[in-house]
Amino acid sequence: MKNMNKNNTKFLRIALVVFIMQTTAIVAQEGKIRKADNKYESLAYIDAAAVYLDVAESGYRSEELLKKLGNSFYFNSMYTEAAKWYGELFTMTQSVEPIYYLRYSQSLKATGNKSVAAKWYDKYLEKTGSSNEDFKTASDYEQIINMSSGRYSLQPVAINTNGIEYGGAFTGDKLVVTSTGSTGRGPSKVNAWDGLSYLDLYEATIKNDGTLEALSKLKGDINTKYHESSAVFTKDGKTMYFTRNNTSPKTRRNKKETQHLKIYRAHLVDEEWTNIEDLSINGDDYDTAHPALNSTEDTLYFVSNMSQSIGLTDIFMVNLGSDGTLGNPVNLGDKVNTGGRESFPFITEDNELYFSSDGHFGLGGYDVFYIKLKGSEYEGSLLNLGKPINSAFDDIAFVINDHKGFISSNRLGGKGYDDIYGFVEHEDIQDLLKSKVYGIVTDKDTKQPLPNATIIILSENNEVVNSIETDSTGYYESEIDPSALYIIKANKAEYDGDDVFSQKSIEPREHNFELSRNVFDIDTGDDIATILNIVIYFDLNKDNIRPDAQVELEKLVSVLKNNPNLKIDVRSHTDSRANDNYNMKLSNRRAKSTIDYLVSRGIERSRLSGRGYGESFLLNSCSNGMDCSEDEHQQNRRSEFIITNK
């Protein structure tokens, strides 16, 4: 092409026609906590959640109470109520575990309060040091590339010359490639800038062993004095889309004006390609090139630097009608396209997109990448194919069919400027795009595994990704996207739920859960204080009921009111740091104060008994004269509420 400017020629030779400017609500657990109305079955159990709600509705508040209430609604997808109690919790204190920031944010988001939810989510990220960015560091990318490497074996093909060969496109038993011809040089059709022949489209027969026979030019009106490259064919082999320099007439075209690349359509008539059409997606002031068809042939993918581009060259898609008409181009977006150059798209039968890019992190210039398409959206991660497909040089024009394919490269050791290599894929790429999350769910107190616990995996937008149950050993496992954030919840009937925020990770993620029982079988001799985590604190040398102790005792009031036949014995204890006689009297006064408080709250005195035991029943070795910590002494300063009958 005589009038083609020097820069355009350089780009076609070196860049290989790549352009210079290129749940529903969460699935509820089936066995929800049994209600406390008529199902106690002669005091067979205590429903802790009902107790906490009863206490809260009486007007009492504590950090533990608000956490429990928020959780009980959150894990049953009752987000309005959860947001209410979490909101009260943060009004009382913000010195709580970071997970409560996340749960509050999720509850607010689920009820439509997205702006406030975002603020609490940001606070969660600040508390945990989490990042909402995708994999960004070179170390992350290198791990991904290393995981992908070694899946292919690679060999150069016999058709390579000392010129340029790259491609190609499958059609029947042929591979159509772009080439400068058998020698790369000739007496005519030579670029003035580099002395190489112009690019034309050739075909080579693919033999049974995957090797290629000698090249022959496509017949018909395809190959001209201009550059032709990058073809794709319909399945019936009768229609071809290919790239060529702009040959469409233009009034008063400047002889020195750059002739941009365009995609043309040709038809096979009597074994020759003819009836060349200029497509509606083309323009005289931008490039279009490298067409690719999806398996249903209703979408054409291509590369362009049109005005909608993000970077130098982007990959676009356009609807292709049965009559050949084209819709409006759609940019594939920033998960594929970068500020650099994306080119050479190829779509498999399974709607997988392979393409070359120098904008994503890679090993060299252009690297080949993979992503699974779902319409105009994506499934899973963007993956670098790793070595040996990619190298420190330009690796382009990847095509594959039934685990065999071809890749083009200007890597060292080639025969010409750019060579074609055949490859065999030894391992499915899908296996590397997914990671897994796994773990064990156990009873917090007994440490025994919990079978049939429900594990719910949520996206960061609170959408259910998967719901599974633990097996007989309490184990669960699920496939996940390593580049995504998740919220993972563990639920089981008669247990408090738990959840974790699962960070993006290339490696498998382990999340174990210890669930606390909240519905308890009770019997004579059981201590309700242990069951409901009732902890009564008294001031030094005092026996009056403090406000924080009132909140604790309200749990007991709720149990006694809902179980009118229940009788308890109040047993108060002290530590050893005073004389025995004093401690006995002090513990008696504290037991009496406790009973008096319960009576003042409407509990019949006949249902209550109790006394003090001083330091007679220490729980540890902190007896007289022993050097113990305050925490160790605190273990002995306790009250017990023992069931004396049911």
Band (242; pLDDT cuts 50, 70, 90)? very high
Domain 33-75+78-130 in CATH: superfamily? Tetratricopeptide repeat domain (1.25.40.10)
Q: Minimal CA–CA distance to 398: which of 140, 154, 138?
A: 154
Read off the pLDDT of residues 515-527 as tens digits, 9 standing for 90 and up: 998 888 888 999 9
Give yes or no for residue 186 having a pLDDT over 60. Answer: no
Q: If you average pLDDT over residues 223-241, what whole number do you get?
A: 92
- Report CA 484 to chain centroid distance, whole Å: 2
- Residue range 434-516, CATH number: 2.60.40.1120
Q: What is the dihedral of CA 374, 380, 382, 385, to 10 degrees?
A: -100
The answer to whether 333 and 278 are in contact (CB under 8 A) is no
Q: If you average pLDDT over residues 136-165, what whole number do you get?
A: 80
CA distances from residue 523 to 46, 560, 603 in whole angstroms, order as listed:
11, 14, 20
Q: How far apart are CA 293 and CA 290, in angstroms?
A: 10
Q: How far apart are CA 158 and CA 251, in angstroms?
A: 45
- Report CA 221 to chain centroid distance, whole Å: 49
Average pLDDT, the chain: 83
Half-sphere exposure of 457 (CA within 13 A, CB side): 22
pLDDT of residue 309: 93
Q: If you average pLDDT over residues 455-460, what whole number do you get?
A: 93
pLDDT of residue 45: 64
Give yes or no for residue 623 having a pLDDT over 60. Answer: yes
pLDDT of residue 196: 64
Q: If you average pLDDT over residues 309-332, what whole number do you get?
A: 93
Q: If you average pLDDT over residues 609-628, what whole number do you get?
A: 91
The answer to whether 447 and 474 are in contact (CB under 8 A) is no
Give yes or no for residue 38 having a pLDDT over 80. Answer: no
Give yes or no for residue 143 having a pLDDT over 80. Answer: no
DSSP state of 70: H
Structure tokens at 133: 């960015």
Least confident of 173-187, 473-487, 562-576: 173-187
Give yes or no for residue 646 having a pLDDT over 60. Answer: yes
Reported as type and span, the H/E element at residue 139 is helix 138-148
The answer to whether 83 and 111 are in contact (CB under 8 A) is yes
Q: How far apart are CA 79 and CA 106, in angstroms?
A: 8
Least confident of 125-134, 280-289, 505-514, 607-616: 125-134
pLDDT of residue 189: 56
Phi and psi dihedrals of 296, rounded to 5? -90, 0
CA distances from residue 275 to 220, 225, 267, 291 in whole angstroms, order as listed:
10, 17, 6, 18
Residue type, 471: D
Q: Which residue has the tokens 């291509």?
A: 302
Band (634; pLDDT cuts 50, 70, 90)? confident
Give the rounded percent of residues in the chain with a pLDDT score beyond 70: 85
Q: Minimal CA–CA distance to 118: which of 462, 456, 500?
A: 462
The answer to whether 319 and 301 are in contact (CB under 8 A) is no
Phi and psi dihedrals of 242, rounded to 5? -150, 170
Structure tokens at 541: 């040398």
CA distances from residue 574 to 540, 549, 613 in whole angstroms, order as listed:
11, 16, 8
Q: How far apart are CA 572 and CA 612, in angstroms?
A: 5
Q: If you average pLDDT over residues 317-331, what whole number do you get?
A: 94
Q: If you average pLDDT over residues 257-268, what whole number do you get?
A: 85
Provide the pairing of β-strand 454-459 with 486-491: antiparallel
pLDDT of residue 377: 78
Of 390 and 187, more confident: 390
- Report CA 85 to chain centroid distance, whole Å: 29
- The count of other CB atoms within 10 Å of the CB of residue 276 is 17
Give yes or no for residue 50 having a pLDDT over 80. Answer: yes
Domain ranges for the chain: 6-20+142-432, 33-75+78-130, 434-516, 522-645
Those residues with Cβ within 8 angstroms of residue 187's Cβ, 6 or more apart along the chain or in another chain: none
Read off the pLDDT of residues 87-112 as tens digits, 9 standing for 90 and up: 999 999 999 998 899 889 878 877 88
Cα angle at 637 between 633 and 642, to 5 degrees?
A: 140
Cα angle at 403 between 397 and 406, to 5 degrees?
A: 25
Give the rounded percent of residues in the chain with a pLDDT score beyond 90: 49
Q: How far apart are CA 210 and CA 436, in angstroms?
A: 36
Residue type, 320: L
Structure tokens at 388: 């040996």
Phi and psi dihedrals of 198, rounded to 5? -70, 160
Give yes or no for residue 392 having a pLDDT over 70. Answer: yes
Those residues with Cβ within 8 angstroms of residue 554's Cβ, 6 or more apart along the chain or in another chain: 55, 58, 60, 601
Note whether 33-75+78-130 and 522-645 share their fold. no
Those residues with Cβ within 8 angstroms of residue 323's Cβ, 6 or more apart along the chain or in another chain: none
pLDDT of residue 25: 24
Half-sphere exposure of 15 (CA within 13 A, CB side): 23
The dihedral through the CA atoms of 187, 190, 196, 199 has a sign that is negative
pLDDT of residue 43: 42
Q: Minimal CA–CA distance to 220: which of 197, 195, 203, 207?
A: 203
CA distances from residue 465 to 380, 430, 475, 583 in whole angstroms, order as listed:
13, 18, 18, 58
Helix (H/G/I), strand (E/B), else coil: 9: helix
- Report CA 404 to chain centroid distance, whole Å: 30
Half-sphere exposure of 28 (CA within 13 A, CB side): 12
Band (192; pLDDT cuts 50, 70, 90)? very low
Exposed, middle or buried: residue 138 (CB in 10 Å: 0-12, 13-18, 19+)? exposed
Orientation of helix 547-562 relative to helix 48-57, angle to 10°: 120
| Radius of gyration, CA atoms only, the chain | 37
Q: CATH 1.10.3720.10: does it fit domain 6-20+142-432?
A: no
Write the DSSP string, 417-460.
SBEEEEEEE-S-THHHH-EEEEEEEEETTT--B-TT-EEEEEET
Q: How far apart are CA 7 and CA 398, in angstroms?
A: 26
Q: Encode 558-591 in three state secondary structure.
A: HHHHHCCCCEEEEEECCCCCCCHHHHHHHHHHHH
Least confident of 225-239, 273-287, 431-445, 466-480: 431-445
Residue type, 306: M
Per-range mean pLDDT, top range of 208-217, 234-243, 543-552: 234-243
E strand residue ranges, 91-197: 152-156, 165-171, 174-179
- Residue range 522-645, CATH number: 3.30.1330.60
pLDDT of residue 11: 35
Band (431; pLDDT cuts 50, 70, 90)? low
Q: If you average pLDDT over residues 493-513, what whole number do you get?
A: 91
Give yes or no for residue 40 having a pLDDT over 60. Answer: no
Of 49 and 318, more confident: 318
pLDDT of residue 532: 87
E strand residue ranges, 237-329: 239-245, 261-269, 272-278, 288-293, 299-304, 314-319
Provide the pairing of β-strand 513-515 with 435-443: parallel
Q: How far apart are CA 116 and CA 186, in angstroms?
A: 71
pLDDT of residue 41: 39
Give yes or no for residue 251 having a pLDDT over 60. Answer: no
Band (20; pLDDT cuts 50, 70, 90)? very low
Q: How far apart are CA 106 and CA 461, in angstroms?
A: 8
Q: Minimal CA–CA distance to 235: which of 293, 281, 178?
A: 293
The answer to whether 337 and 331 are in contact (CB under 8 A) is yes
pLDDT of residue 531: 86
Band (21; pLDDT cuts 50, 70, 90)? very low
Give yes or no for residue 169 having a pLDDT over 90. Answer: yes
Q: If you average pLDDT over residues 436-443, what whole number do you get?
A: 96
Q: If you average pLDDT over residues 556-581, what whole number do you get?
A: 91
The answer to whether 92 and 104 are in contact (CB under 8 A) is no
